[in-house]
Amino acid sequence: MARFLIPSALLCGALLTFHFSAFTPAVSYAVLFIAASIAFLWMAYQTFRTEVPRRVLGALALLALLVRVSFLFTLPVGSDDMYRYLWDGKVQSAGINPYQYPPDADELRHLHSTLLPSSVNHPEMGTVYLPLSQWAFYLAYQMSGENVWGFKLLLLLSEIATLCGLVLVLARLHIPRKFILLYLLCPLAIVSFAMDAHLDGLGLPLLIFSLLSYLNGKRLLSLLLLGASLSVKPVGLILLPLLFFLEKDIKARVQVLLVPLLVVGLQFLPYLGGSGPIQSLETFAKHWTFNGAVHETLFLYIADNQKTRIVCGILLAAAILLLSLSKRDLTDKVYFSILFLLLFSPVVHPWYVTWLAVLLPIARRWSGIALTSTVSLTAFTVMQYKLSGVWTQHPLVLLVEYLPVIVLLFVELRKPIPAVAPE
């Protein structure tokens, strides 16, 4: 048991040290995030080898919750997306359609403060966030104004809901409850949500409860929840082909495609008259690249961003089609679909990987454990940017980050998941 508790304590200690570090926030963020991720690899290894009593599991759950709560009032370090959330919430609280104007528009000048929108990145662009997220921003602003704790509180509640959903899924699949630690103590999740307050945390419980509903035969509820998840981040779109081919009759297949998209589409009705997020998303999709394994590799040979994106899209579509038609079980297909999406995407910020991290207790795959750990190496880019103002992607970091993931992925695709006896 000591071999299990030591890395768990080191992991939590590294994250809590951020509150007392004498280094600049950027340096502390990089060093402690990476150190905690190394401890997570050790802890994950011991989780597979150690029986974890329920009282120990409960104590670790309380510790993980306290670590998250400790960041409730701290400002984000690794990303400034939080300030866009606050701005959108402020705009909607003023009775203005958040899709109507970019932050630097003259029509919104009366809402300016010393913090907003001066802290918002790319204030010349309209918001890219979907309606369900906008209502979360509105609620957070109503609670705390321009302070971060309102939105962080929503994320904390969402994390608790995610953990509850995972407990139910593990019980439904007869997977030992100890594997919830692969998400509960995942440094990536704690840094992405408790520290940097990324909205992806709002979508994860919707995804998990959608999966639980599907496993329980409640297909319509599952699709409704999946649609709600898409309304936070459209990651779940990658799952539609899987569900489409799982259904046997045409009516059910049409329902798989229509219900989630209708859930998203209907939420735009209160925002008619604004430009919506399409134009800003199009700009993002055309020009942004960062930390994409396949994209960066192919770009070395193709040397054209748009052509490289098209090739990556074709390769992703082929991979998803083959996976959808394979005989793997649903949870395996869901896990590998999201992993493929991350590998072929031109932009993979660390918090994007939380959509894979939340599946680790269910999938128990080392490719995902590796990626949720090695993605912390992108903190070097963040540290350099904070210290020098230069945003640089390091090829060596990309290699160290993805090479073990790809090797493990090939091994896992060749072998079924090893059986684990229920506790």
pTM here? 0.94
Question: Tokens in use for 130?
Answer: 């979907």
Identify which of 10, 421, 349 has the alpha carbon closest to the alpha carbon of residue 187. 10
pLDDT-wise least confident of 7-11, 263-267, 270-274: 270-274
Closest listed residue to residue 184, CA positions, set 15, 63, 353, 77 = 63
For residue 274, give the DSSP letter.
Answer: B
289: helix, strand or coil = coil
pLDDT tier, 418 (very low <50, low <70, confident <90, very high otherwise) = very low
Nearest to 276 by CA among 418, 102, 160: 102
Do the domain assignments include residue 341? yes
Determine, yes or no, domain membership for 107. Answer: no
Range of the domain at 400: 2-77+150-414
Q: Is the pLDDT of residue 50 over 60?
A: yes
Task: Judge whether 25 and 76 are in contact, CB under 8 Å.
Answer: no
Q: Is residue 224 part of a domain?
A: yes
Q: pLDDT by residue (tens digit) across 318-329?
A: 999 999 999 899
CA–CA–CA angle 274, 193, 222 (5° rounding): 65
- Report if residue 122 sits inside a domain: no
Considering only CA atoms, which of 212, 213, 57, 172 is closest in space to residue 422?
172
Domain total of the chain: 1
Compute the average pLDDT of residues 173-187.
96
Mean pLDDT, rounded, for 90-116? 93
Distance of CA 343 to the CA centre of its chain: 14
- pLDDT, tens only, 218-233: 999 999 999 999 999 9
Residue 86 lies in a domain: no
Give a yes or no: residue 64 inside a domain. Answer: yes
d(CA 15, CA 277) in angstroms, rounded, equals 35
Q: How many residues can be counted in the chain?
A: 423
